[in-house]
Amino acid sequence: MSANRSERLMKLLIMLLVQRTHVPKERIRAELYPDAGDDAFEKMFERDKEELRSLGVPLEVGQRDVLFEDEPGYLVRPGDFALPDVVLDPDEAAVLGVATQVWESARLADATLAGVRKLSAAGVPVPLEGQRHDGADLGISPPRLGAAEPAFDVLVEAVHVRCEVVFDYRGTKDDAPVERHLQPWGLVRHGGRWYVVGRDVDRQEERVFRLSRIVGEARMTGRRDAFVPPEGVDVGEVARRLAPPPPTGVPAVLLVRPGTGFALRRDAVEVTPGVPGPDGATWDRVRLEGSGPSVVEAVLEHGPDVVVEEPARLRDEVVRRLEALLDGLGVAPRRGTP
């Protein structure tokens, strides 16, 4: 039963917290698991230790007596256990209350609340549920941080317990998902997408994987504390280095039919109205900072309402793709000239 289990976990924690030296496993067993058989005890004890560690309890394994090395003992040092003093001002505490509403992931929202609850217990009055506000009086509209990718929660856990993960991954060039093994160092959000950074065990290299391309579940495999990330690694830096943003290209000059192309106008560095258009009517000239891949697509999307003036490379690309489209539709591209 759960209440019994909570009670046993608390008693185990208190027992290890109040002792000055490592408590032998046999003593723990006699005290807290008196009715369990050998196998059942090992299983329960392993799970209980895991639960306490996952709550953040620094459970230390050591030898009570150097002469009897096969006898492991356990200890929780009060100095490692307790939260250092944090004295927050009321406005800072209010901000923490708003922070509990940021995560959309239930797992991370719970973790934030649990963390705030600990800080709150230390004496800081943090406004939580029941007196929650939406941050309006602080000038904050609390953003919601989404992590819709199903693998997100498992990877967060794996990063923190330093456990290897396995998942099926479909890269941009893979036809079918491929099983990958990773020692995850951290998670990075870039352009609204989550990426996991770590050491690819199969390829023996640092790699970045996009969470939305993980097919099905990610699973933790093997023991915790199985690896140590490189000293001082900056996961954001690794992600930016391995997955650079697309090139922006040289500046682009477009002609845009009046009353259309609002998205392009919005991104423009300059709009000159009333210039001669390709059909003899009056159009607008729109200047963009770059002519990268996304501009090609934006131009194509507008069909006959947008024409590229410069650069020639962008012009050629648009023409080539429109001709290929007509080819694919079974229509000769050069037919139909008035």
Bridging pattern class, strands 214-221 and 282-288: unpaired
Q: Locate tokens 């995560």: which residue?
A: 103
Taking the complex as a whole, how short is the minimal distance between the CB of residue 62 and other proteins, in angstroms? 18
Structure tokens at 295: 């501009």
Structure tokens at 172: 């941009």
Which of 70/89 has CB closer to other proteins?
Answer: 89
Which of 286/318 has CB closer to other proteins?
Answer: 318
CA angle 265, 266, 271 (to 5 degrees): 40
Taking the complex as a whole, how short is the minimal distance between the CB of residue 55 and other proteins, in angstroms? 5
Query: What span, in angstroms and rounded, lies between the C-alpha atoms of 28 and 73?
Result: 9
Which of 26/327 has CB closer to other proteins?
Answer: 327
List the beta bridge partners of residue 256: 284, 306
Which of 69/315 has CB closer to other proteins?
Answer: 315
For 252-264, letters b (16+ CB in 10 Å) and e give: bbbbbbeebbeeb
List the beta bridge partners of residue 60: 75
Which of 103/209 has CB closer to other proteins?
Answer: 103
Taking the complex as a whole, how short is the minimal distance between the CB of residue 70 and other proteins, in angstroms? 23
Q: Locate tokens 């396995």: which residue?
A: 166
Do the Cβ atoms of 164 and 226 come closer than 8 Å? yes
Bridging pattern class, strands 178-190 and 164-169: antiparallel
Which of 5/241 has CB closer to other proteins?
Answer: 5
Taking the complex as a whole, how short is the minimal distance between the CB of residue 145 and other proteins, in angstroms? 5
Taking the complex as a whole, how short is the minimal distance between the CB of residue 37 and other proteins, in angstroms? 20
Closest by CA position to 250, among listed 289, 287, 298: 289
The secondary structure element, H or E, covering residue 318 is: helix 312-328
Taking the complex as a whole, how short is the minimal distance between the CB of residue 326 and other proteins, in angstroms? 5
Which of 149/180 has CB closer to other proteins?
Answer: 149
Taking the complex as a whole, how short is the minimal distance between the CB of residue 25 and other proteins, in angstroms? 14
Closest by CA position to 284, among listed 257, 266, 311, 306: 257
Taking the complex as a whole, how short is the minimal distance between the CB of residue 144 and other proteins, in angstroms? 5
Query: What span, in angstroms and rounded, lies between the C-alpha atoms of 1 and 29?
Result: 19
Direct distance between the N- and C-terminal alpha carbons of the chain, in angstroms, rounded to an integer? 83
Which of 121/250 has CB closer to other proteins?
Answer: 121
